[in-house]
Chains A and B, each alone.
Chain A
């Protein structure tokens, strides 16, 4: 049991600002156990609308228990703010790792391990009649022990409404501050028609996440939202990029218009051509391509379920001795920064602090 009392926690550093500035994630130490934890602090005052979503997030996470889903330890209110305590995932989110260390995407084996673990989480969620609706790299957290955990449950929806099990849901997840979440959503969810969507919508999102992990860039990033929508509705599938994607070299302009990373490097023409060269050099396995094709099918009924996907040949390459952190050796764990610490002690108004804006670390 973790005590819901601010005095039992020693904040050690700021990990990230998230949710468009209404929350900050700290690393902290829970003093009674001397255990590292992550604390997400919500400035509830800043957005009253979101308060019910946070509540939903906590309720959902309390209900769920799975090794690949970020657990909820405790929460409490201190001053005007709400604090939610979770285990510290000290390698950060997959999005952070991609932005900082792997702009061209993660190695295939690392992708396989992460995707398998996320599938296990989804298999569990779907059995509990939940649809996650927000499977994306910033919601998949890693630590130095090789644990992969899915977070972002505030967008999850239960298929049980007023005691009755629904076959379909119809509404969009609550809008996030920059509407970026739409890029991962399935065509049938975005269409909002009488056909509705079910848990197979998460499988499509997993497909987008799969391309994100392997390519570094999010498919449909940098195209207008409405174009992304029509592309999906018309059934165009994002692809894994490797030498088979570029039989002939593309010119820079074409490349840039197709895929663009939002990292600092990728925006320059030089960065783009460097990325393209990296894609053209590598060869991803046929099983990987097959998996991504299966996940991203336009017709939800044709997509395999989470359980079926766990038997996909792509995951056969994983050996029991494979250790995720050593496969992504460029990534260093989050360490408390003494400079940060003193600032923390001084600060009362968090908004005055300099926080790295580029990180996405949503709990």
Chain B
């Protein structure tokens, strides 16, 4: 049975996941992918059923103080589900796959180029969502402009841009990547990489940065969350939303705005400098990234963004644990110099002894694999099931809430995970979480 099933939200029976306490709605809400895809066949005479599609669910303001709080009692055998069929959807020449990740801008999904069979990732941007983000539309425009020009092995490639005026959506088609360093770090023991692995990534980060700086582009948001890996472990710098192209004729690399993630900002930005060297901002952030990858910690910590920026502003990074070795420690401390002028250039870093020698994998250390909670171990294409649906029609599969509970009970160990919740619900949870945490204007949290 396909676990990604449609979920009915009603208060008469508690759902197997506690996260749903937030949702108390009188009407039945069923995510509806498209016209006839997702029918929930209950007893219509007893309920008023409202059909919503994913977009509408995003919009839906599920405030608990809604006027109509009315509870129905529904027998579990009366609630009939149809397994979520993988309805094949095309955008241009691309076949849509599953969601790879979600950002504040919208979803990132996997796609397959139906002509070349090349796997791709697509960033789906909704105009409506963009407008709610400070500088949202502007950042996207800048990102597209920059990515169109940039071409380097360690910089994400923008393959195609498509617009759907009717749906007010924009699709940025990119190279397919299997993992984000951030996710891999989070899933690894000690939230860090073996030095050998961190070294492999750092070298590639340096190559990418060297190219970007040579092209007069300051990324300004280097962090593990913006470093992706392809199938063959090539690192790709992504997210040029806050990047800045320097004036070609300017001899300086002066920048005026910093919009990056607080934990990776240098002291000059934390202290609110009006102008600063762009290149050295990326050096600093790369230093924090290396620090984080090799120690699992951050050089500066704070209970909240303000405390954090205060600590950064003082510019006294916590020394890395001695286990990293003196060689790496000197490099980290050099990159995290309070004074931007004292920080090394990319070329200087490349000449550093820690960078030149590839560290050996210590006994007992194992490389951290690219992970994603949504994919299988091999990161196989998620488009295949949609193609199967398209090319070999399969009969619908119906089951009731009662069957489902029965099966879950029998299965014993099998419990519903958040990954199995419908996407619409998880976005809803995320959005609430986002809006509840403090933000600096024009600052993004990791």
Contact = CB atoms under 8 A, between A and B. Distances in A.
Nearest to B387: A230
Which secondary structure characterizes the binding site on chain B? loop
Interface residue tally on B, bucketed by range: 20 to 34
B370 A194 contact: yes
A293 interface: no
B197 to A, nearest CB: 15
A134 to B, nearest CB: 15
B230 interface: yes
A193 B379 contact: yes
A29 B95 CA distance: 50
A196 interface: yes
Nearest to A192: B119
Contact of A193 (B378, B387, B388): B378
Interface stretch (A10-18, A164-172, A262-270): A164-172
Contacts of A193: 231, 378-381
B445 to A, nearest CB: 30
Interface in B178-204: 178
A194 B231 contact: yes
Given A226-B387, A226-B391, A233-B384, A192 B231 contact: yes
Interface in B363-393: 370, 377-381, 384, 387-388, 390-392
Contacts of A196: 231-232
A169 B232 CA distance: 7
A226 B381 contact: no
A170 B381 contact: no
A308 interface: no
Nearest to A174: B116
Contacts, number: 62
Interface in B82-96: 95
Given A226-B95, A230-B391, A194 B377 contact: yes
Contacts of B390: 226
A326 interface: no
A272 B264 CA distance: 67
A233 B381 CA distance: 10
Nearest to B178: A194
A190 B380 contact: no
Given A191-B380, A194-B379, A229 B231 contact: no
Contact of A172 (B117, B178, B370, B378): B117
B388 to A, nearest CB: 6
Contacts of B380: 191, 193
Nearest to A223: B391
Contact of B378 (A171, A175, A179, A195): A195
Contact of A229 (B117, B178, B370, B392): B117
B304 interface: no
Interface in B102-131: 112, 114-119
Nearest to B88: A226
A193 B391 CA distance: 22
Nearest to A231: B391
A233 to B, nearest CB: 6
Contact of A225 (B117, B370, B378): B117
Interface string B165-184: 00000000000101000000
B112, B114, B116, B117 pick with most chain A CB within 10 angstroms: B117
Contact of B384 (A166, A175, A182, A230): A230
B230 A170 contact: yes
Given A191-B380, A226-B387, A233-B384, A179 B232 contact: no
A227 interface: yes
B115 A179 contact: yes
A170 B119 CA distance: 11
Nearest to A190: B117
Given A226-B95, A227-B391, A230-B391, A192 B176 contact: yes
Interface in B134-176: 176
A154 to B, nearest CB: 16
B232 A170 contact: yes
Given A179-B116, A226-B112, A230-B391, A191 B230 contact: no
Contacts of B114: 224-226
A193 B118 CA distance: 11
Interface in A161-209: 166, 169-172, 175, 179, 182, 190-196
Nearest to B116: A175
Nearest to A229: B117
Contacts of A172: 116-118
A128 B114 CA distance: 33
Nearest to A169: B232
Contacts of A195: 378
B53 to A, nearest CB: 25
Nearest to B385: A230
B115 A171 contact: no
Contacts of B231: 170-171, 192-194, 196
Nearest to B370: A194
Nearest to B118: A172
Contacts of B232: 166, 169-171, 196
Contacts of B384: 230, 233
B229 to A, nearest CB: 10
Interface in A133-180: 166, 169-172, 175, 179
Nearest to B232: A170
A191 B115 contact: no
A195 B377 CA distance: 10
B358 to A, nearest CB: 11
A315 B41 CA distance: 62
Q: Which 3 residue pairs of A and B lie closest in terms of their CB atoms, listed nearest first? A: A170-B231, A193-B378, A170-B232
Given A166-B232, A192-B381, A227-B387, 8 more contacts: A171-B231, A190-B117, A192-B176, A194-B231, A225-B115, A226-B114, A226-B117, A230-B391
8 contacts: A166-B232, A171-B232, A172-B116, A193-B379, A194-B178, A226-B391, A230-B384, A230-B392
